[in-house]
């Protein structure tokens, strides 16, 4: 795949340089970091850089994943080289144009802050060279900078979108207001997969502003769409609908029953993901040296602050869509399919999202399909499909519910000798028919179920991890940090328990256990030991919890200072050591680590579970499913990055798995209790 | 239901809208006045994304029907650049690089400005109380805390 600079860089006559960002800004800072990378190699003046969100198009695909996406914390690791090359090529073309103009050799020119300087005191602004540079051929290869030559990469750069996000001018998907636009809400079946049997909409149609009410297909089941000139009219009309639902043949999931079923399955070996040494070694361990631990994790909603939404206008032979999609190609394909158009006839815009965390982009493109099904009925009019908070919370696509059982045997040296783990939870990759299936599913087991455990760098001689996919009929999907969100909790709380049994320092214990060849892991743990020295001087009502994670090749280690306040964990301070290769924007990394920890706290807050009874999701809004508030968050977080010249690795998801085990490890020291079911009980102590 | 005309003062400007009296102020701001800086997050007053100042008090605009707004002044995020304390808070937000997705930040800033108008030296407990109902899913709380303190220092 070629990435022509003109698709990514627009040099304006006034000197401003627009950099096209090939993936959606969801808060992770990609619309600042990718322009930084490009501007550095281009020797552009940072104060003149603007970022623009690219629409759906092949040229904006992730160069490694070969699909346009935000996921897997791929943005920087996959596009670092790409954006460097784009910047380097653009610079070379500008230099070539200047060299031509001055009749000098390009290698005798130098560049700085959007100006080319010639050997005889000549100078020319990039803006004045742009049209000549555009006629130059794109070089196949350019020399890229040595990391020591970086001027922007590695510096703390404030976000380009900060001002607009502080004065109310930033437009998110929900803020779109096109001429003539109508707003649509959906009345969904109370149980996933239900269908409309009959609808009495007489009362609903009396609401002023209502334009139409009709049934549309969902990916599974059907719904009633209410279209009105305003949100409030649509909402009032939806509340007045009387719908008789056909729930025959629809399986009614129940999380209480599923918990028992998952636990029973965990008693049987699953499909083996990894097997080293002798898996039966555990059976030979003396009972007093065994730990058998069951862990339970609930379904979790993503709960982005901006609920799901999508706007589509259907013009008969083409369509236009405005989205906040993490997987634009899936949503565009869904729209095209519903409207009977080839995908290239759907102009697909991507705007800033008010959070996403995996939810805003699904392989089935359900959001695009739903919006298109409504737009199809009302041609020529942009229709904004809005999920209310209740729709968003109850809409499925949750982080899977998971049960882990670990049988762990301790050797005479206090180190783990045998580890046999069975993981039970559903897959969103298996059976999806997507490119990910071939990469992740082996012998029928989705690696995402066991990631973090199966590939641990802790060296345990007799080691087995297996898994079951129970097919629980609750739609599951990717949630920031995916399988690591539960696997690291299991690994890190058990390793901590072993360190406590051995009376060992929890960082020293991990250093002893981790693979000697895992250099990045060791350096992160050592940096934490150095920066977390405060943990030896805590008062007796505080305790320090340690945890470690290595999502997508970015080891992170953290120390959390925790006390108990009003029956809840109070997190005073967290120190995090990060080994992520080149830190493109250390300020963003600090932000992502701080925010990622808070996201991980979702797993331990009191209203931190989605439960289903008789097929109905029991939580509706933030009063029953509550992400962390400010009092739940750490009071302070200090982030320390290991200096490196290696290519950058993942960031956004990496901190999420750290905090729940760190807090629970601290609580074990404060209460003597090992919490293994999440979320934590409402009162601790 | 009968459509009713209301006369409002929003950020010092007079506005008239004709809407159903049950319509929350939030949706009038967003859809009738096209002031989309005030955000919808939950509709039940549990996230704070819709926070505005109503008669000088930080208020969840999703819970206030137009029939109850009366003659109270409405101040939104769009008015903060003209408010001396609002400007200081915004500057602190840029300086500390607080925002991530940014969706909740209008509400956060409105809550902070209301706090600092009555209390120039907020403690951690004051901050947690005033911002206790403002959700941030990106988890910018650590930096929000720093930025509030930094803004307060400038006011001192």
Q: Which residues of A440-475 are buried (b: 16+ CB within 10 A; e: fewer)?
A: bbeeebbbbbbbbbbebbbbbebbbbbbbbbebbbb
Residue of A388, A371, A380, A252 whose CA lies nearest to A316: A380
Interface contact B20-A232, CB threshold 8 A: yes
Residue of A648, A652, A650 whose CA lies nearest to A581: A648
Q: Please check whether residue B137 is in contact with residue A599, taking contact to mean a CB–CB distance below 8 angstroms.
A: yes
pLDDT digits (tens, 9 = 90+) for A317-327: 999 999 999 99
Interface contact A594-B142, CB threshold 8 A: yes
Interface contact B127-A630, CB threshold 8 A: yes
Q: Which of B26, B30, B102 should be substituted to probe chain A, the one whose Cβ sees the most A Cβ atoms within 10 Å?
A: B102
Q: Say if B61 is an interface residue toward chain A (CB within 8 Å).
A: no
Residues 119-148 in B contacting A (C-alpha not used; CB under 8 Å): 124, 127-128, 131-145
- SS3 at position A12: coil
Interface contact A304-B39, CB threshold 8 A: no
- Band the pLDDT of A432: cuts 50, 70, 90: very high
- Give the span between the Cα atoms of B13 and B81, in whole angstroms: 15
Searching chain A, which residue's CA lies closest to the CA of residue B105?
Answer: A166
Measured CA distances, A157 to A415, A563, A665, B99 (Å): 44, 35, 35, 13
Measured CA distances, A99 to A123, A132, A245 (Å): 10, 11, 73
Q: Say if B108 is an interface residue toward chain A (CB within 8 Å).
A: no
Instruction: Find chain B residues with C-beta within 8 A of A160's C-beta.
Output: none
Q: Please check whether residue A209 is in contact with residue A228, taking contact to mean a CB–CB distance below 8 angstroms.
A: yes
Instruction: Find chain A residues with C-beta within 8 A of B30's C-beta.
Output: 175, 231
Searching chain A, which residue's CA lies closest to the CA of residue B88?
Answer: A166
Compute the mean pLDDT over every residue in chain A, rounded to the nearest whole number. 97
Q: Say if B76 is an interface residue toward chain A (CB within 8 Å).
A: yes
Listed in sequence order, the residues at least 6 apart from B113 whose beta carbon sits closer than 8 Å to its beta carbon are B53, B80, B83, B85, B86, B89
Q: Please check whether residue A453 is in contact with residue A487, taking contact to mean a CB–CB distance below 8 angstroms.
A: yes
- SS3 at position A458: strand
Q: Which of A158, A171, A621 sits opposite B94 (nearest CB)?
A: A158
Domain B79-155 annotated CATH 1.10.150.120: yes
Q: Which of B27, B97, B139 sits opposite A598 (nearest CB)?
A: B139
Q: Say if B101 is an interface residue toward chain A (CB within 8 Å).
A: yes
Distance from CA of A236 to the nearest CA of B (A): 10
Listed in sequence order, the residues at least 6 apart from A121 whose beta carbon sits closer than 8 Å to its beta carbon are none
Instruction: Find chain B residues with C-beta within 8 A of A353's C-beta.
Output: 101
Q: Which of A28, A596, A627 sits opposite B135 (nearest CB)?
A: A627
- Band the pLDDT of A279: cuts 50, 70, 90: confident
Q: Which of B24, B100, B110, B124 should be substituted to probe chain A, the one whose Cβ sees the most A Cβ atoms within 10 Å?
A: B100
Q: Say if B96 is an interface residue toward chain A (CB within 8 Å).
A: no
Instruction: Find chain B residues with C-beta within 8 A of A637's C-beta.
Output: 142
Q: Could you report the predicted ipTM of this complex, rounded to two decimals? A: 0.98
- Assess whether pLDDT exceeds 90 at residue A622: yes
- Give the span between the Cα atoms of A641 and A538, in whole angstroms: 24
Q: What percent of chain A has pLDDT over 70?
A: 100
Residue of A606, A582, A604 whose CA lies nearest to A682: A606
- Assess whether pLDDT exceeds 80 at residue A2: no
Specify the pLDDT at position A312.
Answer: 98
- Chains A and B form CB pairs within 8 A to the count of 198
Beta pairing partners, A563:
A542, A570
Give Cα A512 to chain centroid, integer Å: 32
Instruction: Find chain B residues with C-beta within 8 A of A621's C-beta.
Output: 42-44, 46
Burial class of A46 by CB neighbour count within 10 A (0 to 12, 13 to 18, 19+): middle
Specify the pLDDT at position A318.
Answer: 98
Searching chain B, which residue's CA lies closest to the CA of residue A231?
Answer: B27
Q: Please check whether residue A577 is in contact with residue A528, taking contact to mean a CB–CB distance below 8 angstroms.
A: yes
Specify the pLDDT at position A141.
Answer: 94
Instruction: Find chain B residues with C-beta within 8 A of A159's C-beta.
Output: 97, 99
Listed in sequence order, the residues at least 6 apart from A580 whose beta carbon sits closer than 8 Å to its beta carbon are A554, A589, A641, A642, A644, A648, A649, A650, A651, A654
Specify the pLDDT at position A396.
Answer: 97
Instruction: Find chain B residues with C-beta within 8 A of A354's C-beta.
Output: 39, 101-104
Specify the pLDDT at position B31.
Answer: 97
Vertex A296: Cα angle to A271 and A434 (nearest 5): 45
Residue of B145, B140, B116 whose CA lies nearest to B128: B145
- Band the pLDDT of A1: cuts 50, 70, 90: low
Q: Please check whether residue B50 is in contact with residue B39, taking contact to mean a CB–CB distance below 8 angstroms.
A: yes
Burial class of A586 by CB neighbour count within 10 A (0 to 12, 13 to 18, 19+): middle
- Give the span between the Cα atoms of A487 and A271, in whole angstroms: 17
pLDDT digits (tens, 9 = 90+) for B74-123: 999 999 999 999 999 999 999 999 999 999 999 999 999 999 999 999 99
Distance from CA of B6 to the nearest CA of A (A): 16
- Give the span between the Cα atoms of A570 and A389, in whole angstroms: 28
Crossing angle (nearest 10°) for helices A30-42 and A75-102: 30
Distance from CA of B119 to the nearest CA of A (A): 19
Beta pairing partners, A226:
A185, A213
Most distant CA atoms of chain A, gap in Å: 84
Interface contact B47-A305, CB threshold 8 A: yes
Q: Which of B30, B46, B140 sits opposite A622 (nearest CB)?
A: B46
Specify the pLDDT at position B1.
Answer: 57
3-state secondary structure string across chain B? CCCEEEEEEECCEEEEEEECCCCEHHHHHHHHCCCCCCCCCCCCCCCCCCEEEECCEEEEHHHCEHHHCCCCCEECHHHHHHCHHHHHHHHHHHHCCCCCCCCCHHHHHHHHHHHHHHCCCCCHHHHHHHCCCCCCCCCCHHHHHHHHHHHHHHHC
Delimit the domains of chain B by residue range: 4-76, 79-155
Q: Please check whether residue A288 is in contact with residue A314, taking contact to mean a CB–CB distance below 8 angstroms.
A: no
Q: Please check whether residue A69 is in contact with residue A361, taking contact to mean a CB–CB distance below 8 angstroms.
A: yes
Interface contact B136-A305, CB threshold 8 A: yes
pLDDT digits (tens, 9 = 90+) for A559-585: 999 999 999 999 999 999 999 999 999
Distance from CA of B54 to the nearest CA of A (A): 17
CATH architecture of B4-76: Roll (3.10)
Instruction: Find chain B residues with C-beta within 8 A of A230's C-beta.
Output: 23, 27, 31-32
- Give the span between the Cα atoms of A434 and A66, in whole angstroms: 12
Q: Say if B46 is an interface residue toward chain A (CB within 8 Å).
A: yes
Specify the pLDDT at position A555.
Answer: 98
Q: What is the DSSP-derived secondary structure letter of residue A359?
A: -
pLDDT digits (tens, 9 = 90+) for B27-56: 999 999 999 999 999 999 999 999 999 999
Q: Say if B97 is an interface residue toward chain A (CB within 8 Å).
A: yes
Most distant CA atoms of chain B, gap in Å: 50
Q: Please check whether residue A30 is in contact with residue A70, taking contact to mean a CB–CB distance below 8 angstroms.
A: yes
**Region A616-644 average pLDDT:** 98
- Give the span between the Cα atoms of A479 and A359, in whole angstroms: 7
Q: Which of A27, A233, A629 sits opposite B101 (nearest CB)?
A: A27
Instruction: Find chain A residues with C-beta within 8 A of B97's C-beta.
Output: 158-159, 162, 587, 591
Interface contact B43-A305, CB threshold 8 A: no
Residue of A495, A404, A455 whose CA lies nearest to A273: A455
Measured CA distances, A487 to A239, A356, A484 (Å): 41, 22, 5
Residue of B51, B75, B79, B81 whose CA lies nearest to B63: B51
Distance from CA of B128 to the nearest CA of A (A): 6
Query: Could you tell me where the DSSP H helices lie in A226-301?
Result: 231-239, 255-265
Burial class of A1 by CB neighbour count within 10 A (0 to 12, 13 to 18, 19+): exposed
- Give the span between the Cα atoms of A571 and A558, in whole angstroms: 13
- Other Cβ atoms less than 10 A from the Cβ of B142: the count is 25
Interface contact B97-A158, CB threshold 8 A: yes
Distance from CA of A89 to the nearest CA of B (A): 31
- Other Cβ atoms less than 10 A from the Cβ of B68: the count is 13
pLDDT digits (tens, 9 = 90+) for A473-496: 999 999 999 999 999 999 999 999
Domains of chain A: 5-155 (3.30.365.10), 173-248+308-386 (3.30.365.10), 266-299+398-671 (3.30.365.10)
Q: What is the DSSP-derived secondary structure letter of residue A460?
A: -
Q: Say if B6 is an interface residue toward chain A (CB within 8 Å).
A: no
Query: Could you tell me where the DSSP H helices lie in A316-425?
Result: 328-339, 366-377, 389-394
* Residue A323 backbone dihedrals phi, psi, to 5 degrees: -135, 170
Residue of A640, A279, A291 whose CA lies nearest to A496: A291
Q: What is the DSSP string of A588-656?
A: HHHHHHHHHHHHHHTTTSTT--B-EETTEE---STTTS----GGGS-SEEEEEE----SPP---TTTTH
Interface contact B142-A637, CB threshold 8 A: yes
* Residue A302 backbone dihedrals phi, psi, to 5 degrees: -80, -40
DSSP E strand stretches across A426-480: 441-442, 445-446, 462-468
Q: Please check whether residue A392 is in contact with residue A477, taking contact to mean a CB–CB distance below 8 angstroms.
A: no
Q: What percent of chain A has pLDDT over 90?
A: 99
Residue of A547, A614, A539 whose CA lies nearest to A576: A547
Crossing angle (nearest 10°) for helices B141-155 and B84-95: 130
Q: Please check whether residue A227 is in contact with residue A210, taking contact to mean a CB–CB distance below 8 angstroms.
A: yes
- Assess whether pLDDT exceeds 60 at residue A257: yes
Searching chain B, which residue's CA lies closest to the CA of residue A307?
Answer: B41
- SS3 at position A539: coil
Interface contact B37-A167, CB threshold 8 A: yes
Torsion over CA: B81, B86, B88, B92 (sign): negative
CA-based radius of gyration for chain B: 15
- Give the span between the Cα atoms of A487 and A551, in whole angstroms: 11
């Amino acid at each position: 795949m070629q990435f022509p600079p003109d698709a990514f860089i627009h040099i304006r006559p006034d000197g401003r340089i627009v950099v096209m960002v090939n993936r959606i800004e969801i808060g992770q800072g990609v619309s600042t970091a990718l322009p930084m990378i490009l501007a550095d190699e281009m020797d552009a003046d940072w104060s003149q850089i603007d970022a623009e969100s690219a629409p759906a198009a092949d040229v904006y695909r992730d160069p490694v994943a070969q699909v346009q996406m935000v996921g897997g914390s791929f943005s920087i690791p996959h596009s670092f080289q790409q954006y460097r090359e784009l910047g380097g090529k653009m610079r070379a073309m500008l230099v070539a144009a200047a060299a031509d103009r001055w009749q000098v050799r390009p290698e005798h020119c130098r560049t700085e802050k959007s100006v080319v300087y010639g050997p005889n005191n000549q100078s020319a602004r990039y803006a004045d060279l742009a049209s000549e540079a555009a006629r130059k051929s794109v070089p196949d290869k350019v020399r890229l900078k040595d990391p020591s030559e970086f001027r922007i990469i590695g510096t703390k750069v404030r976000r380009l979108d900060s001002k607009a996000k502080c004065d109310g001018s930033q437009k998110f998907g929900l803020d779109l207001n096109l001429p003539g636009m109508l707003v649509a809400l959906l009345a969904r079946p109370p149980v996933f997969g239900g269908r409309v049997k009959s609808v009495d909409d007489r009362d609903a149609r009396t609401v002023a502003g209502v334009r139409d009410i009709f049934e549309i297909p969902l990916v599974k089941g059907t719904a009633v769409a209410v279209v009105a000139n305003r949100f409030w009219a649509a909402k009032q009309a939806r509340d007045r609908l009387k719908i008789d639902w056909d729930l025959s043949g629809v399986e009614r999931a129940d999380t209480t029953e599923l918990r028992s079923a998952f636990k029973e399955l965990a008693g049987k070996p699953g499909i083996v993901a990894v097997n080293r040494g002798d898996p039966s070694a555990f059976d030979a361990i003396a009972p007093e040296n065994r730990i058998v631990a069951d862990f339970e994790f609930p379904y979790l909603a993503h709960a982005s602050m901006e609920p799901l939404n999508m706007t589509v206008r259907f013009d008969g032979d083409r369509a236009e869509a405005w989205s906040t999609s993490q997987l634009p190609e899936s949503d565009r394909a869904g729209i095209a399919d519903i409207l009977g158009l080839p995908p290239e006839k759907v102009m697909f815009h991507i705007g800033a999202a008010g959070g996403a965390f995996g939810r805003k982009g699904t392989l089935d493109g359900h959001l695009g399909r739903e919006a298109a099904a409504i737009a199809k009925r009302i041609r020529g009019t942009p229709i904004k499909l809005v999920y209310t908070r209740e729709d968003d919370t109850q809409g499925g696509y949750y982080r899977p519910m998971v049960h882990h059982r670990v049988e762990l045997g301790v050797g005479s040296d206090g180190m783990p000798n045998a580890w046999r783990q069975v993981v039970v939870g559903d897959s969103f990759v298996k059976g999806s028919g997507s490119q990910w299936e071939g990469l992740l599913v082996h012998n029928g087991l989705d690696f995402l179920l066991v990631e973090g455990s199966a590939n641990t760098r802790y060296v345990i001689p007799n080691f087995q991890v297996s898994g079951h996919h129970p097919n629980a009929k609750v739609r599951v999907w990717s949630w920031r940090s995916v399988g690591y969100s539960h696997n690291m909790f299991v690994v890190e709380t058990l390793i901590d328990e072993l360190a406590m049994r051995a009376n060992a320092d929890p960082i020293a214990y991990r250093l002893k256990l981790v693979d000697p060849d895992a250099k990045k892991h060791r350096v992160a743990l050592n940096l934490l030991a150095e920066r977390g020295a405060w943990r030896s001087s805590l008062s007796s009502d505080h305790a320090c919890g340690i945890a470690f994670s290595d999502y997508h090749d970015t080891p992170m280690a953290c120390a959390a200072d925790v006390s108990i306040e009003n029956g809840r964990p109070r997190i005073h301070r967290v120190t995090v050591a990060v080994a992520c290769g080149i830190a493109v924007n250390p300020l963003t990394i600090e932000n992502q680590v701080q925010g990622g920890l808070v996201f991980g706290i979702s797993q331990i807050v009191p209203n931190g579970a989605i439960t289903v009874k008789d097929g109905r999701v029991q939580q509706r809004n933030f009063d029953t499913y509550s992400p962390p508030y400010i009092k739940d968050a750490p009071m302070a977080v200090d982030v320390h990055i290991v200096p490196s010249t290696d290519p950058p690795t993942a960031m956004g998801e990496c901190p999420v798995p750290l905090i729940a085990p760190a807090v629970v490890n601290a609580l074990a020291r404060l209460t003597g209790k090992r919490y293994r079911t999440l979320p934590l009980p409402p009162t601790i102590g | 239901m009968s459509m009713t005309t209301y006369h409002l003062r929003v950020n010092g400007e007079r506005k008239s809208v004709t809407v159903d009296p049950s319509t929350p102020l939030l949706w009038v701001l967003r859809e009738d006045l096209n002031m989309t800086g005030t955000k919808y997050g939950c509709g039940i007053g549990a996230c704070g994304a819709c926070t505005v100042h109503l008669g000088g008090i930080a208020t969840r605009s999703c819970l206030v029907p137009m029939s109850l707004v009366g003659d109270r002044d409405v101040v939104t995020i769009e008015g903060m650049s003209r408010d001396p304390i609002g400007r200081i808070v915004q500057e602190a937000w840029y300086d500390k690089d607080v925002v991530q997705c940014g969706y909740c930040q209008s509400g956060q800033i409105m809550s902070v400005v209301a706090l600092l108008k009555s209390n120039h030296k907020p403690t951690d407990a004051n901050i947690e109380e005033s911002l206790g109902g403002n959700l941030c899913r990106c988890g910018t709380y650590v930096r929000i805390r720093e930025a509030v303190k930094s803004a307060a220092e400038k006011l001192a």
